[in-house]
Amino acid sequence: MLKIAVLISGGGSNLKALLDAAAEPDFPAQIVCVGSDTDADGLEHARAAGIPAFVVRPRDFGSREDWGAALADEIRAHDAGLVVSAGLMRILPAGFVREFSPRLINTHPALLPAFPGAHAVRDALAAGAARTGVTVHVIDEGVDTGPVLRQAAVDVRPGETEAELHERIKQLERPLLVQTVRDIALGTLRLPGVG
C-alpha cells in the first residue's frame, strides 16, 4: 500500500478529507505522517486519527536547505512513497524537491498556469477572472510550475469575497485531491517519469 506524508500550514481541511478517505477500508493508500512548518491547527486532525504529527520550523535552521533536509529526514523515517503538500504555505527548497519529485504533489487554488503564488484566489479576483479553480500538480523547482495532474474549475460569482470564493474552491479541491491520490496509488494516474 502506498505510504503518504502530508504537509500543511493551516486548518487542514484537505488533510481531513484525505484522512477520512484513508479510513475507508478500500482506500489504496495510508497516511503515515503529517508535517508542518508551524503549529498548524490542522495537526489536530492527524493527532485525532492517531497519525504521527511533527513540526519542523524554518527559524530553527540556518538556511532553507537545512530546513528542507530536516523535513526530508522526518519523511524518510516514515518511509513515505508520496509527499502531498496540502496547504503548506512555504516553498520547498531545491534539495527537498530533488529528493522527492515527482513523488511530490501540491494542491493549488487556481487553474495553473494562471495565478501561481501564495495569493491565488485574491489574484484571480483582482484580475477579474470569470473562472478559476484548483490544480493538483507535481512540485518541481519552480513556484507552482510543475506538471499538472488534475484540475477542476469554478465560475466566479459577481461581488464574491476572497473568503467566499476560496471556500467554494476548497469544496472542489478536497475531493479532487482525494481522487488524485487514490488514482496515483492505484496506478491509474502515472506520475511523469515514474515507471
DSSP assignment of 4-62, as one string?
A: EEEEESS--HHHHHHHHHHTSTT-SEEEEEEEESS--TTHHHHHHTT--EEE--GGGSS
38 vs 69, beta carbon nearer ligand GRF: 38
Where in the sequence numbering do the catalytic residues fall?
A: 108
Query: CA-to-CA distance for 110 and 27, rounded, in angstroms?
Result: 27
Q: How far is the CB of 12 from ligand GRF (least distance, A)?
A: 5
Q: Among residues 175 and 193, whose Cβ is nearest to ligand GRF?
A: 175
Which residues is 148 bridged to in the sheet?
A: 137
Residues that bind ligand GRF (CB under 6 A): 8, 10-15, 42, 86-87, 107-109, 170, 173
Q: Grid coordinates representing 174?
A: 478536497
> In the bound complex, what is the minimum distance in angstroms from residue 107's beta carbon to ligand GRF?
5
Least Å distance, CB 119 to ligand GRF, is 10
CB of 62 to ligand GRF, least distance (A): 27
- Count Cβ neighbours within 10 Å for each residue of 65-82 and write b for 16 or more, e otherwise: eebbbbbbebbeebebbb
Complex with ligand GRF: residue 11 or 147, whichever CB lies closer: 11
- Which residue has its beta carbon closest to ligand GRF? 87
CA angle, corner 111, sides to 110 and 115, nearest 5? 60
Residue 82: DSSP 8-state: E
